Amino acid sequence: MRGLCETAKTLSAKDGNRIHKILLFDGIRAFCRESQGYSVYIDGNIVLRKGIVDVVNIMAAKKIEFAFFRHPSRDTIQSEIQACIEQKRLSDDERIAAFEFLRSEQASGFRDDAGLSANFILIRKCSSSAVSDLMAAWWATYCDGVKRDQISLIPLLVRSSVKWGYVDDFYGNGSVYSRLPHGDYHSFFPVSAQAMLKRVRAKLEAFVNR
């Protein structure tokens, strides 16, 4: 863990976030012991509710090693790549790497029908060697240029031995988290109200720019 943290200091902010998101899932041993051996990664704009405890308990009972939520608006890797291109979230090199990755996976038998992960919450079994192997492959794919982690996770999962699932399918998502729009927040005004205003603004901008 210490070596990875030191490595992260030499990376860009984006790459530093990804190395922690992907590879450091089993580093907090004390937390893992207190949570039935699971760790929970959350993006900075996610607020967890108490439902996450129930999710972990169900995962332990069902022996699920890795779980996450479905993407709220897309369900294929192809549609995610296209959306990233339209939203200018991929450089030319990243776009080429994403298409090459998908073509390679499809040539190996991947069918783009297993859904699309959101990846803002990742729940993993700390002691699972299969999960560790998957995370190593996920990080290697990221380093190979597939910088949008939603694009690579499901194809890698499908051909892994990890027992995984969508939290939406075995629990739902209504009581697990709240998702705040990215951006600055001020302490003198309720966060929920600021989040609502940011969402309204985003919808107005999307309407004007369409």
Position 200 pLDDT exceeds 70: no
Position 27 pLDDT exceeds 80: no
Residue 185's pLDDT is 52
Share of the chain above pLDDT 70, in %: 75
pLDDT tens-digit readout, 147-180? 999 999 999 999 999 999 999 999 987 778 877 6
Domain residue spans in the chain?
2-179, 183-210
Residue 48's pLDDT is 83
Question: How far is it, in rounded angstroms, from Cα 107 to Cα 121?
Answer: 30
DSSP E strand boundaries for the chain: 38-42, 46-48, 66-70, 117-125, 164-166, 177-179
How many CB atoms lie under 10 A from the CB of residue 143?
A: 12
Residue 44's pLDDT is 81
DSSP 32-93: HHHTTTEEEEE-TTEEE-THHHHHHHHHHHHT--EEEEEPSS--SHHHHHHHHHHTT-S-HH
Is the pTM here over 0.75, yes or no? Answer: yes
Share of the chain above pLDDT 90, in %: 55
Q: Which residue has the higher pLDDT, 32 or 85?
A: 85
